[in-house]
Every structure is written in C-alpha cells, then in structure tokens.
Structure 1
Amino acid sequence: MSTTNARPTRTNRRKRPPNPNWREDFYRNGRPDDQEVIVISDSPTPSHNRPLPSQIETRGMKRGRRSAPKLYNPQQLQSSQVLLQPISALPTHKRRRKGEIQSIQNYQQYNDTSYRSYISTSSHTSAHYREPISTRESYSSASSSRQAIIPNYDDKDGHYIVKIGDDLTSRYRITRQLGQGTFGKVVQCFDRVSNRHVAIKIIRAVQKYRDASKIEIRVLNTLSDQDPANIHKCIHLRNWFDFRNHICMVFDLYGSSLFDFLKQNDFAPFPMNQIQHIARQLLSSVAFLHSLRLVHTDLKPENILLVNDQCRNRSPGKTRRILLDTDVRLIDFGSATFDDEYHSSVVSTRHYRAPEVILGLGWSYSCDLWSVGCILVELFTGEALFQTHENLEHLAMMEHVIGKIPDRIVRQMSRHHQSKYFRGSRLLNFPNDDTTKQSRKYVKSLRTLVDIIEPEKTTFRSQFYDLLHHLLLYDPNERISARTALRHPFFYMLFDEEGRQIR
C-alpha cells in the first residue's frame, strides 16, 4: 500500500508529546496490529496418519471435539449441496513469534488506495491461525511446495502477475487491480457470461494458501446454501476455479469498506441513523453465523463492505460526506471457526480483541459481540476505541474506559497469565518499571465510555450507551448475544436523515 493511503492526523484530537516508538506515527503509517505477525514456514503437508498439531492440546485452547483431517476434491467444493459440518483444520509446521511491530516500509508495500478489503490484511494460513502473516516472508521457504522454476506469470512470492486486459480463463477479463494482501491479489474483472464486473480474489500459488482457501470456500458455500436470498448480509461466493495453480474466488463487486470510507471522510463520525442501520445489519449477520455454530473471530470495519459508497455533502460549504445507502456486507470468513472445533489461543485484530482472548481464558461466540461494540464506538467517534499494540497497555485502557476487571475473571486465569498481567491483590500491573512516560500519559488521558457517549444526556445517547455497555462486558458469559441485542430499545428509535432523534 502507498503512503498516500495513510490515515491523516485528526486536528481536533488532544496532542501528545512525540513518541520515538510508534504512537506518533499511528495514523500516519497505518494500524500497528496490521503489522503483528507470526511466520509459518511453508512445508509439505504431513501424512494424515500421524498426529496433527490440531490434535495436541495447548494452553488457552478450547477443549472440544477434534475430527480427523479430511481431504476434499474440487467437485465436492463446487457443489451447491455443501452440508454444514465441522471443518478440520489443515496442519501447519514451525510456528515462531516475530515482533509485534514490523517495519513500516515492508507493510506499506501492501497498501493500495483502491483496496476494497476482499483480502484482509489479517489473512492467515489455516483454521488454526488467526494473526497476520509477515509481509517479508521469503519465497525461498516455499521451495518444498513450489516448482524450482517459477512460471513467467508468477512473481518470486507466488503472486499472480496482473496485467490489465489479460484473461482469467476465457470468461473473465482483468480490468483493474483492486488490492494486494498476504493471501494474494484482488482484481476487478469483466464477466463475459453475466455481462457485468466482478471482484476476483487470486490466491498465491503456494500450497498452504491454496489449502486454506479451500477451507474458506467450504464456509462460503455453507453460508450461501443456508441463506440463498442473502437476508443476513454475508458476502456470497459466486464461483471459483483453479487457473495456473491459483485458486480464484469470484464475488460480487461492492464499494469501499467502512474503514476506507471513514478515512476518505477525514474520520468524521457517522450519523446516528446510519450507525443504527449498520449495527442492525451487522448483528443480524453475527446472529446468523452463530446459529450455524460459526464464530467469525475477525470483525472490524475493514471487513464490512458498503454495497454502494456513493455519498453527498452534508450541507453547502461543508466537506463532510453522508452516505446515500448504508447497506453492508460482512466479508473475510477465512478465520471463521466452528465452536466445537480447535480454537487458536489468539484471534481478532488487536483493536477489536476481547479481554478473554488476551487473558488466555478461551473464547467462543461472545468474542464477536465485543468486536461489534468496539466497531460501533468507532463509527460514533471516528476513531478506534483501543489504539494500542501491547497486551498490558490494552488491558489498562480497558480498565480506564470501561472499569476494573472483575476479580472473578482474574481468578479464572492461569498462574502464568496472572503473574504476567497482575500483581499483589489482583491489581493490574500497570504502570510498571517498563512503562514509558508516553504510555502512562496516554492511558490517563482516555475518556470513560460514559464520557464518550453521554457528554450530554439525551434519550438516544442513553439507549446507545446501554447497548454498548452490554456488548462490552468483561465476563463473556454475561455479554449480550447477537439475537438479544437486536431486540434492544435502541433499534426502535427513529432518526431523521441528519441523524437527529424524532422519537
């Protein structure tokens, strides 16, 4: 991605002293969590008659039924009669943790102004893996799964070389490149059969990415089979094919993501009527996924696409733009996990990660609802609620914004996590000797959730705060469900086109 796509500094934000580490570059160089990485080396898939990593229990992993790995053929995957059944995660090898922050230069190469989030920056290699993969991954590590001679239509990393006007099979003609990510590239193509433009996700010609894409195809086919009319606003897979060793997935062409629209609109908040409509659609999508025993695990504004991003100026002389249509589609199901299958210890992009994930307590459907709460606050303020890249600071921000983490939650933690984040009588170990002065000041300057939502008491603000309060409860067992949230009084309030409450 280019530096022209960088998030500008808000002029109305409280100015903080320059930070030599990262915070001064937060909006200028992109979100730090986009650069969190775990490198998983490319290696041949091991024989299926041996124990897999997914069958070995580790700390923080949900203990549930694990089925043996299954092999799928393309005919089964393309069939419209895909049965809803647990997806066995494909094995991976050699995991090692890299630093949470990678160089800005390596990250920026994947930034693209026209990127419409069909490929998420937090793409991953298997159902086991949820964190972004290093953009500096060497193609040489994939030598065991790639031919020694690189085809002239691939680059050294296995990405398809996109040329405008070229064909992807005789049906699709490439008209534009929309973006590039870890998994591959997204291009806009003209479909000669349907006589319209579509978006095609071209997966890298590396075996682990091909395997992971087949898992995502099964999930997408399940969603379209269970909701053919797309009442629940999840993106539908229209077609897929294998072209020159690249799995290609065909989707309808939509507008920009919510995050891209915020950025293009100088991070101006959405009107309340639009927040209400987007929230209702998002919760409907999440409730649908949960009814299928699926947890999305990576809800964020980048993974919510606007069907149509056309807009108008709010009023003469003002540059703030208002969307004409707030219909959305939920995308990126590569990390969707069945609740009774293997659960990775870490999921979700940093800003939207639930406390139970950070504290190593395991996770389930409720982690999606925490993410929804963070998204709605961001639409209301224009800024991410928890702008951080480190666990301890993240927990400190939660306590400052929402309130102290309950003792019963701390008691459920393992001794390792307790000693890592808490001290003495279950007090959060923040600040400590390693905490920078800038971090102390930043956390201390944060406003509470009440101050953010209700600086002035009105009926709709009170109802909105009450909904957020139930979405952002620390205890996942007490957190509101998506189905229950849809019946909250907030969704029965009426607003005019400017977002003002009618009644």
Structure 2
Amino acid sequence: MREKEGNFFVVLPNFFLRSMEMECATEFPHTRMDRRPRKRPRLGWDVVPQNPKAQLGMLCGQEVGDVTSLVSSGATPSDHTSSLYSKAVPRNPSPPWREDDKDGHYLFALGENLTSRYRIHSKMGEGTFGQVLECWDRERKEMVAIKIIRSIKKYREAAMIEVDVLQQLVKHDKNASRCVQIRNWFDYRNHICIVFEKLGPSLYDFLRKNNYRSFPIDLVRELARQLLECIAFMHDLCLIHTDLKPENILLVSPEYIEIPDYKGSSRTRKDASQFKRLPKSSAIKVIDFGSSTHGTTDHSYIVSTRHYRAPEVILGLGWSYSCDIWSIGCILVELCSGEALFQTHENLEHLAMMERVLGPLPHHMLKRAERHAEKYIRRGQRLNWPEGAASRESMNAVQKLPRLQNLVMQHVDHSAGDLIDLLQGLLKYDPANRLDAREALRHPFFTRAHRRRS
C-alpha cells in the first residue's frame, strides 16, 4: 500500500493498532499520481491484541466502525478508548479470522461484513487478480461492486497502481461517463479492496449468454464511439490501458430485450435460440486499470491478453499508445462477428493469422524483431510459416480464416465499406501509421452515420 498526499492516514500509538481491527479509508481527490507504489509500513489489522482489555473486545467481535470519523474530528485514541469497549455487542461485527486459500484469495460467507460498512450479498466474478463481490453499502444505501485483491505482493502493488489511475481518471472525468467510477478503497486483512459503482455484464458475458450472436452494426458503432472516446481521454492524460478486451468493457445496465434472429436457427419459433438479446442501453464503461501505465516512453515487456495483442508487442519492438488502438480493432471485429478475430495461444500461429487476415507483415518490422522473436522469422525476410507450424491443426486454423474484407461482409448489412476502412486504419501493422483515437472518431464510419440521422 502506498502513502499519498490527500489520504487521511495518521500514525497511531502501537497499543491502539494492536487492540483493534481497523478499516483504512481514503478520500478524493489525490493531488498527484506516481507510477509505482512507494512502500508503507504494514499496519496491524486483525492482529491478535496483547492488551487484556483489548483481548476481551476482540473475543466479543469488537470492531472500530469508522476510523475516518476519529481522524477528521481531531480526537486522539485516548479520547475514544473507553467508549470503544463500552458496548458488549458491536453493531456490525467482523467475521471470524480465516486463513486465505492456497492462492491468496479472501475466504468469505454470504451475509458477512466486509468491515463495518459493507455486507457481502453475492459473488460477481473471479480472475487472476482476485474476486469481485456484490456488497450492500450501509453508508450510501446502495449496492456496490468490491474488487478484493489476492494477498500476494505483485497483485497488491498492481492494485495500488490501479487505485492511483482510477483516482486520476475520476478527477478529470467530470461527467463520470467514460471509465468505471471508484467509490472508495481500503486495506482489509492484507487484501486491497476497491469499491466501484455496480454495473451490468461485460460485453463478453453478453455475447456468451447470447450464444455468441453478433451485435447489429448500428450498436457496434455506438459501442465503438464510446470506447474510442474513453481511450482518447486516457491517452490525453498520458495513460495506456494495455488490456482492452470485451471482458473489460461493461454495459452500464443489465437490462435487455429479445428480438427474432432471422439469420440464426431454422428451428421452430418456439425455440428460444431463434431469438437474440440486445441491450436496452448502449452505454458502456471501461474497467480494470491494474495494468495501465504512462505512455512517456516505449515499453518492452509483454502486455495485453493474447487475442488482442498487437504485433509490435509479440515481436518485441516496444509499444506505446497504439497497442490500445490495435486491441480496439480486434474488439470491433469480435462484436460484429461474435467470435474473437485471432483465436490462438502461440506467437508464430498468431502472426500467421494476422498475415492471413491482413496481408504480409512489413519487412522493416521483421528485421527489427527482438532476439526472442527471431525464431518466428525465416532469414530475416518473411514469417517462418508454414515451415514452423507446430501441427497440421495449427496450419488448418490459419488457413480457414477469411480476409478482413470478406469477414466483415459476412456479418454487416450496411456501412460495411466504412467499417472495413476504419478497421484497416486501426489494424495497421506499423504503430506509427495506425490511427490514433481522435483520428478514428473523425472517420466516416461515425460522421457519415451522424449526417444520415441529421
């Protein structure tokens, strides 16, 4: 956990830290953002107290309900110590102390408290970072989503980077319209907990529950516009998301309608599979800023989830803002077709799929490939394909892919020409020639449709 200006942290006497379980809260806005978390001395939450009186309080499940009220009032611990133990039964006690599971995930039961403020209602999801729980916020009287980070150092550090990015975004995003909004954060039993507004399902979950049926082109246009606006906003702040994918784009509302799917099944109309879902609202927000970084220099380490990873990342050429743009291009194809554009788990096959869909990789990029990527290139001139294919199945997976134009034409009834041209700009191999987010928003795919509506 890092120490920052604007946080309401105080140095309390050791006996006070040992005697009580505390919630560490923050207030907004922060005055600046650092790139990396600075180390802060570990505080003693949930440590078995040594003071006999404190031990009695702990055995009764005693908990301090709101540390920030103590800090903001200017009172000292001694002013409140006697009243803290005057009640035999606390109003919102903490659950019993439990060890984390073997992977560092927080163990919980539905209905338990997560500090005195939040009550766990349900589990919303789980990822490599930890878990997301739906909780009731007693103070604001609303449901929130709380991301509970695994109690492992690298994930805690990434979570603190995410907190800094979120606080910078909320400071500049006055309309609260582009990125998920952070409500609060605290460190609880060695787990960083980030409190968010509660949103609807991700675009990936919506596609999955809709049997991977594609979205109509007009809906894709609205989703693309918002996504590009969000990334343009981040890039203006010198921030790169680095992990854009349908899983990290959430619909604001979970509501949907069902319409007949005439392109779908030939079964009877009673079959639900002949109907597809459409979200009632096209409003979206981008989430998961734990991998975000500043874009002041080219970076060399691997970023992005495999299917949405740009060629310069795979070839080790360094990457910057344009890696987000490549990911957006892949996402738009997936929204139009219902399936990921590059379904692969291996670098050479991935590059071969790119060439199959988009044409040959430029020679100047192949020649500059980093040493670890040289094995993908034959004599520095062309991709080592199909000679280097791992299997016949791999060759077939590449061979069956259509060209970008044909793929779009299979799924788009109108605006196909404008969409193809936009995608060709977003998916240019050379990041220097790729559209940036502001340029993409001025593309006829958006402006021509606006003129037609006018």
Residue 207 (structure 2) pairs with residue 262 (structure 1): yes
Aligned equivalent of 1:313: 258
Alignment of 1:57-136 (within 5 A): 72=4, 75=8, 78-88=26-36
Residue 324 (structure 2) pairs with residue 391 (structure 1): no
Aligned equivalent of 2:15: none
Task: Tell me the TM-score normalized by structure 1.
Answer: 0.69
Between the aligned partners of 2:145 and 2:118, the Cα distance in structure 1 is 10
Change (3 A) 1:262 1:444: same
Change (3 A) 1:331 1:418: closer
Deviation readout 1:56-101 (Å, 9 max, x if unpaired):
xxxxxxxxxxxxxx8548537934232444412679xxxxxxxxxx
Q: 1:169 Cα deviation (Å)?
A: 1.8
Residue 309 (structure 2) pairs with residue 353 (structure 1): yes
Aligned length: 370
Residue 105 (structure 2) pairs with residue 172 (structure 1): no
Change (3 A) 1:474 1:71: same
Aligned equivalent of 2:408: 453
Deviation readout 1:84-133 (Å, 9 max, x if unpaired):
44412679xxxxxxxxxxxxxxxxxxxxxxxxxxxxxxxxxxxxxxxxxx
Aligned equivalent of 1:443: 398
Change (3 A) 1:227 1:427: same
Q: Find the partner of 2:320 among 340, 343, 364.
A: 364
The one-letter amino acid of 1:327's match is A
- SS at structure 1 position matched to 2:131: strand
Larger relative contact order (CA 8 Å, sep ≥ 6): 1
Say whether the 8 Å CA contact 2:300–2:317 is kept in structure 1.
Answer: no
Q: 1:284 Cα deviation (Å)?
A: 0.3
Change (3 A) 1:285 1:379: same
Q: Find the partner of 1:477 among 421, 427, 432.
A: 432
Aligned equivalent of 1:18: none
Q: 1:413 Cα deviation (Å)?
A: 2.6
Question: 5+ residue gaps in structure 1?
Answer: 1-44, 46-69, 92-149, 496-500
Between the aligned partners of 2:289 and 2:356, the Cα distance in structure 1 is 32
Aligned equivalent of 1:49: none
Alignment of 1:424-439 (within 5 A): 424=379, 426-432=381-387, 435-439=390-394
Residue 149 (structure 2) pairs with residue 193 (structure 1): no
Alignment of 1:289-300 (within 5 A): 289-300=234-245
Between the aligned partners of 1:207 and 1:417, the Cα distance in structure 2 is 28
Q: Find the partner of 2:152 among 206, 224, 241.
A: 206
Between the aligned partners of 2:238 and 2:396, the Cα distance in structure 1 is 42
- SS at structure 2 position matched to 1:256: coil
Say whether the 8 Å CA contact 2:225–2:441 is kept in structure 1.
Answer: yes
Q: Find the partner of 2:197 among 214, 237, 252.
A: 252
Say whether the 8 Å CA contact 1:410–1:418 is kept in structure 2.
Answer: no
Aligned equivalent of 1:275: 220
Between the aligned partners of 2:411 and 2:157, the Cα distance in structure 1 is 52
Between the aligned partners of 2:173 and 2:327, the Cα distance in structure 1 is 23
Between the aligned partners of 1:189 and 1:363, the Cα distance in structure 2 is 38
Q: 1:154 Cα deviation (Å)?
A: 3.1
Between the aligned partners of 1:357 and 1:160, the Cα distance in structure 2 is 33
The one-letter amino acid of 2:361's match is I
Between the aligned partners of 1:329 and 1:88, the Cα distance in structure 2 is 25
Between the aligned partners of 2:211 and 2:412, the Cα distance in structure 1 is 27
Aligned equivalent of 2:60: none
Change (3 A) 1:152 1:236: same
- SS at structure 2 position matched to 1:78: coil
Greater helix content: 2
Query: What do you get for the CA RMSD once the two structures are aligned?
Result: 2.6
- SS at structure 1 position matched to 2:225: helix
Aligned equivalent of 1:225: 171
Aligned equivalent of 1:490: 445
Residue 409 (structure 2) pairs with residue 463 (structure 1): no
Between the aligned partners of 1:428 and 1:206, the Cα distance in structure 2 is 39
Q: 1:190 Cα deviation (Å)?
A: 0.9
Deviation readout 1:433-456 (Å, 9 max, x if unpaired):
553111112211110001111359
Question: 5+ residue gaps in structure 2?
Answer: 10-24, 40-95, 262-268
The one-letter amino acid of 2:331's match is I
Task: Tell me the TM-score normalized by structure 2.
Answer: 0.76
- Give identity over the alignment, percent: 47
Between the aligned partners of 1:457 and 1:173, the Cα distance in structure 2 is 46
